[in-house]
């Protein structure tokens, strides 16, 4: 199995695990709506709903970490990185993954497993609210999410090595993004002509590319090749 196939396989695992976890937002929305109805219409609030909301949102947040990493969607503040060539970027990423990412995620997995094991052993319940629900299921998400992120992180390391070898970044998976929604809305609008729509989408795509650190690098490379 070559490097790109390994990267693609792990990307797919992260992608679909994130897609599955994303359905928790539907459950969270339903729970919040029901609680609002019970609290303000029936005057019968549920004591443990605050804890349950936190568990659902926390699980959603953690289980989508690998998905976000696979799509390169994590927030990053770069002032030098965006002007570097792909091999320079890969070198910097590789160093940071080895120095910070791997030790940090290993610590998360180790500590999360310990938290979850103790919680299951004592049958832990939340003490934040009265009649607090059990939390050992929720704490089990910590090491699981850590393992998923670690798996994707190892794929990112392979991605860096592949970039160092070839001089180009391996492609990433793509998903529907806000810019796609904007394009759909503009295409259906009766008040935007074709030329205005084209200009708006070109500007939106340019901003998106720059935000993802591609267009600035591409422009720099084109300028360096210009005689």
Interval 104-150: pLDDT, tens? 999 999 999 999 999 999 999 988 877 788 999 999 999 999 999 99
142 or 72, which is more confident?
142
Among candidate residues 206, 195, 147, the one with its CA nearest the CA of residue 17:
147
73 or 211, which is more confident?
73
d(CA 149, CA 142): 11
Would you state the pLDDT for residue 219? 44
d(CA 151, CA 182): 33
Domains of the chain, by residue range, sit at: 3-174, 176-227
Contact 142, 112 (CB under 8 A): yes
Say if residue 213's pLDDT is above 90: no
3-state SS class at 77: coil
Average pLDDT over the chain reads: 85
DSSP 127-149: -SSTTPPB-HHHHHHHHHHHHHH
Say if residue 220's pLDDT is above 50: no
134 phi and psi, to 5 degrees? Answer: -65, 145
d(CA 203, CA 29): 34
* Tokens, residue 168: 């180009």
| Position 224 confidence tier, pLDDT thresholds 50, 70, 90 | very low
* Tokens, residue 213: 């650190």
Question: Percent of the chain having pLDDT more than 90?
Answer: 59
Query: Look-up: residue for tokens 């993802």?
Result: 212
Would you state the pLDDT for residue 90? 93
| Position 212 confidence tier, pLDDT thresholds 50, 70, 90 | low
Contact 126, 203 (CB under 8 A): no
163 or 78, which is more confident?
163
């Amino acid at each position: 199995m070559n490097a790109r196939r390994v990267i693609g396989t792990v990307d797919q695992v992260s992608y679909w695990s994130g897609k599955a976890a994303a359905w928790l937002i539907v459950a969270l929305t339903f729970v919040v709506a029901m609680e609002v109805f019970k609290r303000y219409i029936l005057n019968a609030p549920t004591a443990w709903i605050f804890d349950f909301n936190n568990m659902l949102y926390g699980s959603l947040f953690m289980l989508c970490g690998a998905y976000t990493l696979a799509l390169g969607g994590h927030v990053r503040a770069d002032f030098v990185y965006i002007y570097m060539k792909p091999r320079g970027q890969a070198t910097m990423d590789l160093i940071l993954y080895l120095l910070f990412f791997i030790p940090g995620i290993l610590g998360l997995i180790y500590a999360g497993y310990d938290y979850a094991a103790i919680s299951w052993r004592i049958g832990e319940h939340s003490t934040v609210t009265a009649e607090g629900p059990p939390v050992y299921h929720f704490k089990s998400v910590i090491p699981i999410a850590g393992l998923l992120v670690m798996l994707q992180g190892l794929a990112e390391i392979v991605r860096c090595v592949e970039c160092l070898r070839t001089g180009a970044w391996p492609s990433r998976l793509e998903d529907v993004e806000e810019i796609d929604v904007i394009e759909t809305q503009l295409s259906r609008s009766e008040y935007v002509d074709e030329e205005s729509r084209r200009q708006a989408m070109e500007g939106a795509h340019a901003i998106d590319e720059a935000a993802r650190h591609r267009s600035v690098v591409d422009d720099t490379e084109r300028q360096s090749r210009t005689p």
